Amino acid sequence: MNVLNCVIGFIFCFGVTKKGQGVFVSQNKTKWNESTCTLAEPDIICRDDGSCIVENGLDFLTNVDDQDNGFWIGFAKTWISYAYVGCNQLHAGSEYSVSTLGECRRTSGCQTFGIRNSTAGLRCKCANNSNVYLGTCRRKCEEADQYPCGDTSNTTLFSLYTVENVPPSNHSQDRDKNCLLFYYRGANDYFWQLCNLNTTPGLLCSDKDFSKLNQMAQSYYSSNQQWAMAIENCFVGKQFPATIQSIQNAKFTEQNAQNYWTGILKKESIMSKTDMSDISTNPPMAFAYVEQKKQTFYVRFANEGDSKRSLCSGDNDKFSKCEVELSLTD
């Protein structure tokens, strides 16, 4: 009796990531910002140890050449500015577990979001349609710098932040200077400084919350050497930490030629390529790629000059079918 043996070899070229999004690998290597396809944006999960992974949809990459070099995806790591705008309870919507303040923005997909520390770690919710509360979130979290992250007694309170587009500012490339100060000069009034100083700057607070177009910043009589402690004084005075809009509305003059804390800090954050047209960022910027180690797909970051093949989203006619080789023997 004859036995038919089939040897089948595949060239795997397709995968499926989030929401059924088809992906394929480009043929040529390019720099990240010169990719000729739409870079895929798979679901990324970042852990408490700082590592980020893609959990699903990339198993097909196991059979693709160039594994050691990795494949570009549609994310970058950069520095985003956030205004601390107040506290509130957030009841509606999903709650997420995140590892950093910057991850809360990306995971929630919201420009305004709430974050609080809990026994289970950082918890995050969208706050795009929430009011702010004239109260103090007394709990502080610390990454590179301290920031408000909920309350010590009322565990239902979230600290609310919103993405802030800061005008051109000095020291924006300095990774250690992450809190924004204002000094009236008539131009180039903003600069980044350490969040914990040996001297005490003044403090700017707004008379209205960040959602009001007529919000107005003014000097507050009490401040602190630490940014995270200073801005709490605004709530003590029934005001809010100063945003860029409130400072611009105030039309300060030479009489305000001294250093003032604002309500703004910057955090290293991962953002998608599709978000880049809506959010201003601070350098430096690093570019994301996926790399397989054993059975795990890690998200790594590389410099602008590196070249890699791309993980592309959508369908590509050149790869509409995976090639199949058949070898039949008796």
Give the pLDDT score at 308: 95
Q: Quick check: is 155 in a domain?
A: no
Q: Quick check: is 49 in a domain?
A: yes
CA distance 273 to 39: 8
Selected residue with higher pLDDT from 132 and 164: 164
pTM for this predicted structure: 0.85
Range in 57-61, 195-199, 207-211, 320-324 the model is least confident about: 320-324
Q: Which amino acid is at 295?
A: Q
Q: Quick check: is 135 in a domain?
A: no
User: Residue 328: is its pLDDT beyond 60?
Assistant: no
Q: Which amino acid is at 106?
A: R
Per-residue pLDDT band for 138 (boundaries 50, 70, 90) equals confident
Q: Quick check: is 133 in a domain?
A: no
Give the pLDDT score at 315: 58
CA distance 108 to 120: 18
Number of compact structural domains in the chain: 1
Q: Quick check: is 311 in a domain?
A: yes
Q: Quick check: is 142 in a domain?
A: no
Give the pLDDT score at 67: 72
Q: Quick check: is 209 in a domain?
A: no
User: Residue 89: is its pLDDT beyond 60?
Assistant: yes
Q: Which two tokens stand for residue 271?
A: 């953002």
Residues 143-162: pLDDT tens digits?
989 999 998 888 789 999 99
Supply φ then ψ for residue 196, to 5 degrees: -135, 110
Range in 118-127, 203-212, 234-243, 308-317 the model is least confident about: 308-317
Residues 191-250: pLDDT tens digits?
999 999 999 999 999 999 999 999 999 999 999 999 999 999 999 999 999 999 999 999
Range of the domain at 36: 5-75+288-329
Q: Quick check: is 168 in a domain?
A: no
Q: Which residues pair with 77 in a beta bridge?
A: 270, 286
Q: Which two tokens stand for residue 251?
A: 């039309």
Average pLDDT, stretch 169-198? 94
